[in-house]
């Protein structure tokens, strides 16, 4: 039986645990959240305000990228086990790689030689095509498409149903609105929306 320590107990944490249990119905789960209520349980598993025994796979299951980064670096410095969570329904291409504490949700696709950084979320039904590189602490939302050989920096959010076309490069600290089409390189941090995209002032 595999033990998973889930940091956080919000909506994203529940999605992560749902995937773990779909992969392994016998998995042992412990939620850890500093705001846990007394005797709180989720899916029948305990929610603790803190934990001393770090023996198990620790997963940072928080939606906000800054907090994910802070906690991931904290546990990395403790040499904790931080394996990614990848749904069994994900089609993982040859030589694709996924970093520490990343989450690949159900029915996503990782093309051959794609590379996913640390603490990144590839959400339900998202496509990351061949040789695409996605940095640390990103979120590629539901049903979005990252085409071949795209390069995405760190702390980038790609909204639901957005498309990033082939060979595009996106710098760090960018938000792409839902349904947007990224058809040119993005070299300045900020929020971009539309088809084609434009920066929001």
Which structural domains are found in the chain, ordered by start?
3-77 (3.40.50.20), 86-192 (2.160.10.10)
**Measuring CA to CA, which residue among 125, 6, 119, 136 is closest to residue 59?**
6
Confidence of residue 57 (pLDDT cuts 50, 70, 90): very high
Q: What is the Cα–Cα distance from 59 to 161, expressed in whole angstroms? A: 26
Exposure string for 75-107, b = 16+ CB within 10 A, e = fewer: beeeebbbebbbbeebebeeebebbbbbbbbeb
Strand, helix or coil for residue 95? coil
What is the pLDDT, as a whole number, of residue 54?
A: 84
The pTM (predicted TM-score) of the whole model is: 0.94
Tell me the mean pLDDT in the region 142-166: 98
- 102-129 tens-digit pLDDT: 999 999 999 999 999 999 999 999 999 9
Q: At CA 180, angle to CA 59 and CA 170, rounded to 5?
A: 60
């Amino acid at each position: 039986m595999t033990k998973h320590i889930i940091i956080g107990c919000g909506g994203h944490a529940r999605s992560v645990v749902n995937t773990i249990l779909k992969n392994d119905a016998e998995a042992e789960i412990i939620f850890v959240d500093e705001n846990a209520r007394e005797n709180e349980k989720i899916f029948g598993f305990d929610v603790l305000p803190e934990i001393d025994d770090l023996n198990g796979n620790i997963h940072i299951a928080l939606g906000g990228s800054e907090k994910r980064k802070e906690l991931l670096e904290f546990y990395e410095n403790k040499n904790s086990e931080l394996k990614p969570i990848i749904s069994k329904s994900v089609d993982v291409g040859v030589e694709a790689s996924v970093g520490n504490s990343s989450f690949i949700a159900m029915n996503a696709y990782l093309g051959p030689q794609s590379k996913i950084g640390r603490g990144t979320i590839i959400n339900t039904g998202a496509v990351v095509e061949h040789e695409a590189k996605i940095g640390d602490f990103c979120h590629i939302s539901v049903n979005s498409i990252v085409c071949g050989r795209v390069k995405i920096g760190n702390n980038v959010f790609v909204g639901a149903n957005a498309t990033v076309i082939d060979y595009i490069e996106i710098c760090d600290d960018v938000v792409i609105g839902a349904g947007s089409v990224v058809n040119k390189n993005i070299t300045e941090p900020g929020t971009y929306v539309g088809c084609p995209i434009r920066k929001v002032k």
